[in-house]
Amino acid sequence: MADIKALEALATQVRRDILRMVHAVNSGHPGGSLGCTEFMVALYHEIMELKPGFDMDGVGEDVFFLSNGHISPVFYSVLARKGYFPVEELHTFRKIDSRLQGHPTTHEGLPGVRIASGSLGQGMSVAIGAALAKKLNKDPHLVFSLHGDGELQEGQNWEAIMYAGSKGVDNLIATIDRNGQQIDGPTEEVMALGDLRPKLEAFGWDVMELDAGNDMAAVVGALQQAKTRSGKGKPVALVMTTEMGNGVDFMMHTHAWHGKAPNDEQLATALAQNPETLGDY
């Protein structure tokens, strides 16, 4: 059974990591990172079956693809806290010659990163390809992916979604971060997505909805349920409602912190709302 309190404590520490990383270089994307903290912590520390170390091919283990690569701060923090690379390396975020670039890349050889995801809209296609490779290799493990709701405004996603449904790619669990915000404003004002559930179902997906994407117990429960629904002829989609900037009161309920770093005073306020739990890097 999941230790929810321990996962919540880790999530608080990850939030501190995110805030300190973007503040240090006055650059990065804290809003979506903070909103997806519970999901990423639950995925890597409770849900996925992982082997020790890092194998780029991911044979014999679950694999994850981050499509909305701009939320790299939460990805890097969770990978480091899982032991893929030293936590101290978070100090190098977005610096010259760092392996921790603003959007994840592969040529630096950072353990845990399997694709470059700086361009939005491509992660679904990659995840489907990896899921098909697992089927060809008779590997029973799963492929997980995370996508921003704003990136679903790009057509490549829907071609991939149609393909996965029509071909029964049922070892894929794709989560959509439905925070309703993107860099230019609310998603429904920029280009309305409407009701995603019937759209995905029409493309042949088994769709789950989670309204409490920042409740650790709810996230763990939803992902556990998603695993039980895999392998039954349909890819699984989890439409997860989160709050951009969650955990920092002045970053919530707005798109303003999609890609803006806090100043010194704002950092101090934000860290005070997320007390240290496991030790800063």
Helix, strand, or coil here: 178? strand
Helices 4-25 & 72-82 angle (0-180, nearest 10): 130
Euclidean distance between CA atoms 82 and 51, whole angstroms: 12
The verdict on residue 232 lying in a domain is yes
Please report whether residue 278 resides in a domain. no
Provide the domain limits for residue 11.
4-272
Rounded mean pLDDT, 65-75: 98
- How far apart, in Å, do the first and last CA atoms of the chain sit? 29
* Res 161: pLDDT: 98
Domain tally, the chain: 1
Instruction: Write the CATH number for 179.
Output: 3.40.50.970
Which tens digit of pLDDT belongs to each residue from 264-278? 999 999 999 999 999
Instruction: Please give the pLDDT value at position 118.
Output: 80
250 inside domain: yes
Residue 163 lies in a domain: yes
Q: How far is residue 231's CA from residue 229's CA, in Å, rounded to a whole number?
A: 7
- Does residue 277 lie in a domain region? no
pLDDT tens-digit readout, 171-207: 999 999 999 999 999 999 999 999 999 999 999 999 9
pTM for the whole thing? 0.97
